[in-house]
Chains A and B, each alone.
Chain A
């Protein structure tokens, strides 16, 4: 994998509490899109599945979503239910956003979660999650 540089900027007056990162090869998720491998409800919510299949490249959607969940787990430093951490692409804003249940924020004492998604020339997806409070 080759990543030369990455930059994230956002306006916030919140404190950075934790971050996590994960990367996966996008082609590993192609089998999910073709139905060759089952889409696990333990990992992806129904809304996420519908969202990813609506994208121009569902494989990237599923890959980014999975990486986001792994990155969130690493940031929280404890097990989470993957299907409650959802990642969606908003075309109008040209960015991804993370949705989490309200009790997740309370349990982990955070106010906001931001995900940065990048794809490398080596056809990998890299997601960094930032937890703010």
Chain B
């Protein structure tokens, strides 16, 4: 999927926030871009991989964990905002995310 529009970006943001709200049992109003995944939501790799699967199925994505892992080493995603940005990039670029400067 290339050149995603604003409505998809907003859809992804809603998906990510709804996901963390449900998984962490926190009201959506209390989750914003600067919310820290680990410190405030007690998130971990299992939670993030489950989110990735939700996104993968919804947008029919093709990506390898190894590729995603290499990207995260260069650009970690510690906050909800960073996870939204990363998720948007994955939807837009798939496995080519390793070659994308974010």
Instruction: Give residues in A with beta carbon < 8 Å to B.
Output: 24, 28, 37-38, 40, 42-43, 66, 70, 73, 78-83
**Contact of B76 with A by CB under 8 A:** no
Identity of the chain B residue whose Cβ is nearest the Cβ of A70 in the assembled complex? B45
8 Å CB interface, B12-41 against A: none
Q: Which residues of B contact A70 (CB under 8 A)?
A: 45
Known: A70-B45, A81-B64. A40 touches B53 (CB 8 A): yes
The docked-state distance in angstroms from the alpha carbon of A78 to that of B72 is 11
Instruction: Give residues in B with beta carbon < 8 Å to A.
Output: 45-46, 49-50, 52-54, 56-57, 63-70, 72-73
A-B pair number, CB within 8 angstroms: 44
A37 to B50, Cβ gap below 8 A?
A: yes
B54 nearest CB across to chain A (Å): 8
Further contacts, 8 of them, CB under 8 A, given A40-B50, A79-B69: A37-B50, A38-B54, A38-B57, A43-B53, A43-B65, A79-B66, A79-B73, A82-B65
A83 nearest CB across to chain B (Å): 8
